[in-house]
Amino acid sequence: MKEGGARLGVLVDGVPLPDDEAREVWDAFSAYMEEHRGDLGGFARTRGFASAHPRSEGGRAILALSHAAPQEPYGGTAKPVDPRSRPQGESPKRRRR
């Protein structure tokens, strides 16, 4: 991934993929996440990886795939919400705008 290159990149165990391969992975990632919102680990497993971590580096979107790193929840530090703690009548699903 060179400076000034594509806006999307993919790292596999820290090694950058060529821009054309990275674009293909991002297309597959986007399609998968549309159908399986927030299931980063599921996407990783479909591609033979242990984890997938999207992040931003220098204004570029990077998808870091790893064969060894553990999967973290989307956002990295998100904690599960106990449904009993929601005000009565509030939907567990996010509202679309």
pLDDT digit string (tens) for 17-40?
Answer: 999 999 999 999 999 999 999 999
In a domain, 94, yes or no: no
Note the pLDDT of residue 89.
Answer: 53
Segments forming the whole domain that contains residue 29:
8-66
| CB-based burial label for 40 (10 Å; 0-12, 13-18, 19+) | buried
In a domain, 2, yes or no: no
| Structure tokens belonging to residue 94 | 């996010």
In a domain, 25, yes or no: yes
Transcribe 22-78 into DSSP letters.
HHHHHHHHHHHHHHSTT-HHHHHHHTT-SEEEEEEETTEEEEEEESSSPP--TTSS-
Between 5-9, 34-38, 78-82, the lowest mean confidence (pLDDT) is in: 78-82
In a domain, 51, yes or no: yes
pLDDT over 80 at 94, yes or no: no
Number of domains in the chain: 1
In a domain, 74, yes or no: no
In a domain, 23, yes or no: yes
In a domain, 44, yes or no: yes
> pLDDT tens across 32-64, in order?
999 999 999 999 999 999 999 999 998 999 999
In a domain, 42, yes or no: yes
Q: How far apart are CA 62 and CA 83, in angstroms?
A: 32
* pTM of the predicted protein model: 0.70
